[in-house]
């Protein structure tokens, strides 16, 4: 049996802070109140009574949902980065931090693919997470590149380089810009799976199961959804096989191969029976089914992250779980901002949130 290492002062501080931040997460009732904001000004004023006060106070009116989303993501990056820097064993947290980098990179690459200008693209991007990690120059050069070919060349030698080159080749064939999401996420979740495999022997017996649960949902959901979206977006089956992250966790390789070999999304779902407890609509188009399946994985991830705080102490699992819960919260707040900006009724906004 692997004994848990004695907690360091840094680890105790990081774990205690994770529990404190978890306790400060907005309740469903608070989120509902925010959906009732009559304007973005009122929405911002209400946020000033929450842990997001400093983030939104930096903004000047007139407000926009896009600017608010970027401000909220800045706070997410700040919290994640600070926890990463005080954790006992930060390797997995550092790889998960790449999600912030990947988020911007996907936007930049799709903009290049669609030949959008620099000024327009920058309205969707904030480079704060790159600045914290010392990676601002690379993404800035990608944004300033003359075209997709040059942007792809700039990324050679990075953890995203090979997958971005494959994405660019796929885009040249099917002209579907969302293939960049598939390939950038492949690079990201491959690193997450590799880091977990390399580090799992260093985790205590108490934390390994929960860390595995959190990572496995991410990797398995990526594998399944990448294969299904490949079907929808015209990616050849020979290419979609290259998107698989191996070895998988709870959705075995034979099941994944069945998904590759089926012709429709509906047939593919049979391969998931007996893996994760996720329901999906019996009717509707294939896009609807895939979106419902994605939402099912999200809810499982959220439930697993919440459960980490019930059973674990000041361990990596609670820090990673906290980061995930903050990501979900930021997604909900951004959705509320866009809903308020568009004048959508509060109940309709509320129904779209991941609670």
Q: Where are the domains of the chain?
A: 27-89+334-349, 91-174
Q: Name, of 28-37, 196-205, 234-243, the range with top average pLDDT.
A: 28-37
CA dist 274 → 220, 264, 289, 295, 301 (Å): 14, 20, 18, 18, 18
How far is 56 from 70, CA to CA, in rounded Å?
10
How far is 8 from 275, CA to CA, in rounded Å?
38
- Per-residue pLDDT of 120-170, as tens digits, reads 999 999 999 999 999 999 999 999 999 999 999 999 999 999 999 999 999
Radius of gyration of the chain (CA): 20
How much is the pLDDT for 3? 44
CA dist 160 → 73, 135, 151, 243 (Å): 21, 13, 12, 13
Which H, E and C letters describe the chain, residue by residue? CCCCCCCCHHHHHHHHHHHHHHHCCCCHHHHHHHHCCCCHHHHHHHHCCCCCHHHHHCCCCCCCHHHHHHHHHHHHHHHHHHHHHHCCCCHHHHHHHHHHHHHHHHHHHHHHHCCCCHHHHHCCCCCHHHHHHCCHHHHHHHHHCCCHHHHHHHCCCCCCHHHHHHHHHHHHHHCCCCHHHHHHHHHHHHHHHHHHHHHHHHCCHHHHHHHHHHHHHHHHHHHHHHHHHHHHCCCCHHHHHCCCCCCCCCCCHHHHHHHHHCCCHHHHHHHHCCCCCCCCCCCCCHHHHHHHHHHHHHHHHHHHHHHHHHHCCCCHHHHHHHHHHHHHHHHHHHHHHHHHHHCCCHHHHHHHCCC
> What percentage of the chain carries pLDDT values higher than 70?
95
How far is 29 from 27, CA to CA, in rounded Å?
5
Binning pLDDT at 50, 70 and 90, where does residue 314 land?
A: low
Which of these, 146, 65, 63, 132, lies nearest to 104 by C-alpha position? 132
Across the range 312-319, mean pLDDT stands at: 76
Residue 249 φ then ψ, to 5°: -105, -90
Binning pLDDT at 50, 70 and 90, where does residue 265 land?
A: confident
How much is the pLDDT for 204? 73
How far is 216 from 110, CA to CA, in rounded Å?
28
- Where b means 16+ CB within 10 Å and e means fewer, 192-220 reads bbebbeebeeebbeebbebbbbbbbbbbb
CA dist 62 → 24, 59, 66, 68, 260 (Å): 28, 9, 12, 11, 48
Report pTM.
0.91
């Amino acid at each position: 049996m692997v004994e848990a290492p004695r907690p360091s002062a840094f680890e105790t501080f990081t774990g205690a802070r994770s529990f404190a931040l978890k306790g400060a997460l907005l309740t469903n009732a608070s989120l509902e109140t925010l959906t009732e904001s009559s304007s973005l000004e009122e929405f911002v004023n209400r946020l000033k009574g929450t842990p997001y006060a400093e983030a939104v106070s930096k903004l000047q009116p007139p407000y926009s949902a896009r600017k608010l989303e970027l401000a909220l993501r800045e706070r997410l990056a700040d919290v994640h980065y600070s926890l990463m820097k005080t954790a006992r064993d930060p390797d997995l947290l550092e790889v998960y931090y790449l999600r912030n980098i990947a988020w911007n990179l996907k936007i930049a690459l799709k903009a290049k693919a669609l030949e959008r200008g620099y000024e327009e693209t920058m309205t969707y991007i904030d480079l704060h997470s790159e600045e914290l990690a010392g990676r601002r120059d690379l993404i800035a050069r990608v944004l300033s590149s003359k075209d997709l070919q040059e942007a792809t060349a700039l990324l050679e030698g990075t953890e995203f380089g090979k997958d971005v080159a494959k994405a660019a080749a796929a885009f040249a064939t099917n002209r579907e810009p969302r293939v960049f999401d598939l390939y950038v996420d492949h690079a990201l979740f491959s690193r997450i799976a590799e880091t977990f495999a390399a580090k799992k022997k260093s985790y205590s017996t108490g934390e390994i199961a929960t860390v595995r649960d959190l990572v496995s949902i991410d990797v398995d959901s990526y594998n399944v959804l990448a294969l299904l979206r490949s079907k929808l977006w015209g990616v050849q089956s020979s290419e979609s096989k290259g998107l698989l992250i191996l070895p998988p966790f709870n959705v075995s390789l034979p099941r994944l191969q069945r998904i590759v070999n089926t012709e429709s999304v509906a047939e593919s779902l049979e391969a998931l029976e007996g893996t994760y407890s996720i329901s999906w609509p019996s009717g509707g188009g294939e896009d609807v089914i895939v979106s419902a399946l994605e939402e099912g994985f999200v809810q499982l991830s959220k439930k697993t992250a919440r459960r980490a705080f019930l059973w674990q102490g000041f361990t990596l699992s609670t820090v990673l779980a906290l980061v995930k819960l903050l990501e979900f919260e930021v997604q909900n707040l951004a959705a509320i901002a866009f809903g308020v900006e568009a004048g959508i009724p509060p109940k309709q906004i509320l129904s779209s949130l991941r609670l």
